Structure 1
Amino acid sequence: MVLAALKEKSKGDEILEEYKATETLSNEMRRALVNILVGHMTERHGRIPTQKQREQYAIGIVSLFPSLKDPFSKKGYVNQDFVLLFDLNTSSKLLERWNGTFKPKIIQEARNLTKTSPVQRLLMSAEKAPENGRKIAAKISASDAVEKLVVFHKSCCSIDEHLRKSQSHQPYLLAVGRSRDVIDSYYIALDNKLIPCQTAGSLGALDELFKVHYIFNISYDNTLINFYTFLQTTVYNIDVGKTKEAPRVKELRAKLLNST
């Protein structure tokens, strides 16, 4: 199936030829591979393919390109591709360190902020039991920042209509469920296409959203640049000292990592 999908596209032959010659794929060819297969999957199975259909594509990828297989992960190709760009240790940092290292300290920092309604709602949400899961940054409120990251979509409404109306040029999470408190699945919305998240929890979905920026070489949303830079340098430890950071990001990192 994967081979047939690649044969339909001129770029597919380039991907196959490069892998045959080098037994690996360059960053450009890996991105092209993902683009072709995501397009093929949505054409064949619609915007919301089943778990089984997604697994068929994942199996097809690692069968056709065995050297790309991530033997340590079952989270899907987004995670595998990020591991190829960096390493397994870097890839797992958010999921491993969030609840124990960062979450309680960030909640404590948030308690010192001005008690606006959006901040209060975010605090209440964060304090719930954990899930079984050179630019100048623009000013943005807490509630607007959340809407830039996660957009709720009621499961009974048309996802195609939502994508047609979307004006965003940056990737974001689309949370689909019966209500904001009952989310059934997460998708990464990118260029009016949906990439199904392999995890059912919001933390894992955020992990995949961050990684998509690297896989597709996408710049951070300017209004969220400090948020993403914090994740990049402080959580994932990518390009620390090489990436331009706002003073607040450096200050927060020192406070979180040096406090007991």
Structure 2
Amino acid sequence: MIIKVKYFNLKKYVKISKPCLEMFITEVRVKFSIPEDKTLTVTDDGGTEVDADVFPELVTKDVCLVIHDSEGESPASESSGSLTDTLSLLSSQGSEVELSQSKRACLGAEMLQCVTAKDLVKNVLLEKPGGATVLKEYEDTGKICDSSRRQMEHFYDAQSGSGFLAWRLKTIQRKTKYHPESSSSPKAAVVMGGGPTLVRDNSQEDQLQDEQCKEAISLMTHTNERDTIFQKMQETFHFRQGLIHNPETSASVLSMFPRLLDTKGLVLQDFSLLFGAETAARLLERWPSYKPKLIKEAAALVQTPLLQRLLQSARGEQVESSADYHPGWDSDMSTLLLLLHILSLQPAGRKRGHKISARDAIDHLVVFHKSCRSLDEHLDSDERQQPYLLASGTTKRAISAFYIAMDKKLIPCQGNASLAAFDELFKVHFVFSLNYDESLRSMYTFIQTTIYNIDVGSTKESPKLKELRAKLLHDV
């Protein structure tokens, strides 16, 4: 079912599988990149509010639903500081922007700030060599190609990693942005506190307490009945989360619940208890739409031998064998490594002393282990602090089993496909309240906020991550 939707001055089509208002709002947040902390209401184009009971019947009619948020702010795509997002506001509005008094009041301070920035960028481009050509290209095609971006080097300072446009926009945003609370207030202090270590409220019922938990833990240790293990793990979920979020007991969870080490699917169950089945399924459901876009984005980068081999594998093409460690993964894993590669690149001239290369970061995500070798020997020699995938098989394209290596122990993955194994690796961080590996932080955060839509708006994101999301979400 496809519905026409308007959010401020943006109009898009939103697709849902069934006429459910809750599902519709969830997809609207994804389409317009609206943070979870904003309360959304829906009206028809006449201003009448739409409730859940009338939504199924209303969407069968040819109407445009209007989205309103709790703060009356413009969508993130309009307030982004990136050049592409700012220029997208210039597509068909002429050389001057005229807003009525009532419309100014409706749009609010942030929209007026965006209009000011938009005019600034347009005027600068018109004054600088090549700027008019860039504007015309965007008006004709709706986007700016990489060659045009490179022609604008006189706006960019390669040594500092900034430029004239970026500097002016940041100055405007700093001077006009409204700060309703002091940065020292308790609420402001947790604004950017989202992520896998956040303690979350959960309303699971039928949870065991005290002695009942001890009895259930003992029963799980001595039974091999899969259904009983899953039931008791669900009933002790609150107890287990209390242990995990207590620094004094978090290290004992795997020894207290050893069935996590020999029963597949328990990590997936705990993640579903945290976020619900709909959120838990998002990566596997949405990956087919993101995958070709990521391959296209990686193909536009400056090509290296590693990147070329990953692109070949991601496209399903035959890759010649070589002594290099990286070629040979299947299409999904290769695309995930392309995502890591895209987000690991640094602009020319910008140096981060401790940052490792994309090639080395791959080893922090997945390690190939010959099935003829001992797993225990690998764990004994391993010094990694954060969880990673251990892929056991004869070759990287013939993996017989995936494991999540954590605290020198192995948690067996339920699926043998690389995407399903990565899905479980991502979820382990939330189930056990673990920080992301620093070299993989941007990649995990992209998966968290863009695909799973977890803690959107309260998780710190790099400018490159935001730019990539804007490109992918606008490529519809």
TM-score category by the smaller chain? 0.7 to 0.9
Decide whether aligned partners of structure 1 residues 185 and 38 sit closer, same or farther in structure 2, where only a CA change above 3 A counts: farther
The aligned amino acid for 2:383 is: Q
The aligned amino acid for 2:287 is: W
SS at match of 2:238: coil
Distance 1:167 1:132 in 2: 27
Distance 1:39 1:248 in 2: 40
Per-residue deviation, residues 81-101 of structure 1 (Å, max 9, x unmatched): 0011111111111000001x2
Structural mapping, 1:145-164, within 5 Å:
145-164=361-380
The aligned amino acid for 1:124 is: Q
Per-residue deviation, residues 64-105 of structure 1 (Å, max 9, x unmatched): xxxxxxxxxxxx111110011111111111000001x21000
**Which has the larger helix fraction?**
1
**Is 1:239 the equivalent of 2:451?**
no
* Residue matched to 1:195: 411
Question: What 5-or-longer segments of structure 2 have no aligned partner?
Answer: 1-215, 223-231, 245-249, 318-329, 334-351
The aligned amino acid for 1:82 is: F
Deviation at 1:131, TM superposition (A): 7.0
* Residue matched to 1:35: 254
Per-residue deviation, residues 205-240 of structure 1 (Å, max 9, x unmatched): 000000000011000011111011101100100011
Decide whether aligned partners of structure 1 residues 249 and 227 sit closer, same or farther in structure 2, where only a CA change above 3 A counts: same
Per-residue deviation, residues 170-215 of structure 1 (Å, max 9, x unmatched): 0000000011221111000000000000001000000000000001
Deviation at 1:143, TM superposition (A): 2.0
SS at match of 1:185: strand
In 2, are the aligned partners of 1:154 and 1:176 still within 8 Å (CA)? yes
**Is 1:139 the equivalent of 2:355?**
yes
The aligned amino acid for 1:155 is: S
Decide whether aligned partners of structure 1 residues 77 and 137 sit closer, same or farther in structure 2, where only a CA change above 3 A counts: farther
CA RMSD of aligned residues (A): 3.0
Distance 1:119 1:220 in 2: 24
Structural mapping, 1:45-64, within 5 Å:
54=263
Deviation at 1:112, TM superposition (A): 1.2
**Is 1:111 the equivalent of 2:324?**
no
Q: TM-score, normalised by structure 1?
A: 0.74
Distance 1:132 1:169 in 2: 25
Decide whether aligned partners of structure 1 residues 197 and 228 sit closer, same or farther in structure 2, where only a CA change above 3 A counts: same
In 2, are the aligned partners of 1:137 and 1:225 still within 8 Å (CA)? no
In 1, are the aligned partners of 2:260 and 2:411 still within 8 Å (CA)? no
Distance 1:29 1:218 in 2: 14
Distance 2:365 2:427 in 1: 14
In 2, are the aligned partners of 1:138 and 1:222 still within 8 Å (CA)? no
Deviation at 1:121, TM superposition (A): 1.8
Distance 2:292 2:399 in 1: 23
Decide whether aligned partners of structure 1 residues 41 and 149 sit closer, same or farther in structure 2, where only a CA change above 3 A counts: closer
Distance 1:184 1:120 in 2: 26
SS at match of 1:220: coil
Decide whether aligned partners of structure 1 residues 30 and 196 sit closer, same or farther in structure 2, where only a CA change above 3 A counts: farther
* Residue matched to 1:70: none
Distance 1:121 1:110 in 2: 12
SS at match of 1:25: helix
* Residue matched to 1:211: 427
Question: Among residues 279, 283, 290, which one is paired with 1:94 in the alignment?
Answer: 283
Distance 1:143 1:185 in 2: 23
SS at match of 2:312: helix
Distance 1:109 1:254 in 2: 12
- Identify which of structures 1 and 2 has the higher relative contact order when contacts are C-alpha pairs closer than 8 Å and 6+ apart: 1
* Residue matched to 1:258: 474
Structure (1 or 2) with the larger CA radius of gyration:
2
Distance 2:436 2:260 in 1: 26
Decide whether aligned partners of structure 1 residues 146 and 252 sit closer, same or farther in structure 2, where only a CA change above 3 A counts: same
* Residue matched to 2:312: 124
Runs of 4+ in 1 over 6 A off after TM superposition: 129-133
The aligned amino acid for 1:110 is: A
* Residue matched to 2:445: 229
Question: Among residues 390, 395, 406, which one is paired with 1:179 in the alignment?
Answer: 395
Decide whether aligned partners of structure 1 residues 218 and 108 sit closer, same or farther in structure 2, where only a CA change above 3 A counts: same
The aligned amino acid for 2:293 is: K
Distance 1:137 1:98 in 2: 33
SS at match of 1:156: coil
In 2, are the aligned partners of 1:5 and 1:37 still within 8 Å (CA)? no
Question: What 5-or-longer segments of structure 1 have no aligned partner?
Answer: 8-15, 43-48, 56-75
